Amino acid sequence: NTEEPWRPFNRSRVYMADLESALHYSLRGEVAAHTVIKGEALSSLKKYISVLAKYQKHFHYFPGRPVAINLLRSVNSWLQNQTGDEISYEALREMLDNSAQTPDTALPEGERWVGCQGSQPHLRRYPCGVWTLFHVLTVQAKNAEGKDPLEVLSAMRSYVRSFFGCRPCAEHFENMARESLREVTTLSSAVLWLWSRHNRVNNRLAGALSEDPNFPKIQWPSPEMCSACHTVKGNGEHSWNNEQVLAFLLSYFSSSSILTDYLE
Ligand code: FAD
């Protein structure tokens, strides 16, 4: 909707409105493209929702408002109870609609992008929200001392493979996962893996048509955001200080740093 007013925001913060909007579009838009969900897609969806609904050691993997957490829990228990070979999207939609009738259980009715606003309606928004959501999930899994370092990334991988609307993106992401996901052996390396693959994508897309001119693709975070993350060697060659990058990511995407502006 081009009429939407611009929402001023801080470019170096994460907004809950973007995380909730990403969930909304994922469940009501992207998954809805499948009339029947079965086989690999059904197991992908179950894995994805169970990661989103997970709570461990006082950490919600999706660190949202109680209403959103309640919704994810209901969807998760409903999905885990579906023992047949397939479900229809219609049944999932009904489930989402019915849950929304229950007090204290809801996702927003629509999308409201803030940190992921684009200068034009076809720029940023959902893909930006997906990256943000998955960075937050890897950080929450690290905080919650999750047992399986690959839990979040493999849920993300299979969600993207089964559902992500941009098919070339899904293919690129699958190639990166196939190539190096096995190198992830700790929760910290999972956080760093997603960061470094996201930078590879940024590198590939810099200057492409999908780039919002007001949000140029950079090797992130910029030296202005985290000077300690960058090391410049004597010969002028740039390298990352991974320890500092990790500390930066853990703080940047932590639930206590997420801003709640513009929520209903
Ligand atoms: P995004 O790249 O979406 O990033 C969102 C926000 O995350 C940024 O604003 C910044 O605050 C932060 N950020 C940036 N870099 C990093 C980082 N390295 N680590 C942590 N946080 C960071 N588009 C294509 O055209 N071709 C593709 O092949 C493609 N593959 C994709 C694969 C996946 C899995 C996803 C989720 C998206 C893909 N996209 C692809 C979309 C593309 O990556 C961007 O999401 C889109 O162009 C919008 O860009 P953006 O400016 O909002 O920033």
- What per-residue confidence (pLDDT) applies to 2? 52
243: in domain: yes
Residue 100: φ, ψ to 5°: -65, -20
pLDDT in tens, 147-156: 999 999 999 9
Determine which residue's CA is closest to atom 12 belonging to ligand 1: 132
9: in domain: no
Ligand 1: atom nearest CA of 118 is 52
- What per-residue confidence (pLDDT) applies to 214? 97
Cα of 129 to ligand 1 centre, how many Å?
9
6: in domain: no
Rounded-to-integer distance, Cα 236 and Cα 223, Å: 15
Cα of 123 to ligand 1 centre, how many Å?
11
Q: Find the mean pLDDT for residues 221-241.
A: 94
Q: How many domains does the chain have?
A: 1
Ligand 1: atom nearest CA of 197 is 18
Q: Does 45 have pLDDT greater than 70? A: yes
Residues spanned by the domain of 87: 16-109+116-257
CB of 128 closer than 6 angstroms to any ligand 1 atom: yes
134: in domain: yes
32: in domain: yes
ipTM of the complex: 0.99
Looking at residue 217, which CATH number applies to its domain? 1.20.120.310
Q: Which helix (H) or strand (E) holds 86?
A: strand 86-88
- What per-residue confidence (pLDDT) applies to 234? 86
7: in domain: no
- Show the tokens assigned to 124: 């940023």
CB of 198 closer than 6 angstroms to any ligand 1 atom: yes
Q: How confident is the model at residue 105 (pLDDT cuts 50, 70, 90)?
A: confident
Q: Is the N-terminal amide bond of 66 cis, ω within 30° of 0?
A: no
- What per-residue confidence (pLDDT) applies to 100? 85
* DSSP-derived pairing of the beta strands 55-56 and 230-232: unpaired
CB of 95 closer than 6 angstroms to any ligand 1 atom: no
Q: Find the mean pLDDT for residues 235-244.
A: 95
Cα of 198 to ligand 1 centre, how many Å?
6
CB of 125 closer than 6 angstroms to any ligand 1 atom: no
Determine which residue's CA is closest to atom 37 belonging to ligand 1: 127
CA 20, 165, 153, 76 torsion-angle sign = positive
71: in domain: yes
Determine which residue's CA is closest to atom 40 belonging to ligand 1: 169
User: Contact, 180 vs 221, CB < 8 A?
Assistant: no
Rounded-to-integer distance, Cα 15 and Cα 102, Å: 25
Cα of 201 to ligand 1 centre, how many Å?
7
CB of 161 closer than 6 angstroms to any ligand 1 atom: no
CB of 141 closer than 6 angstroms to any ligand 1 atom: no
Cα of 29 to ligand 1 centre, how many Å?
19
264: in domain: no
Cα of 40 to ligand 1 centre, how many Å?
25
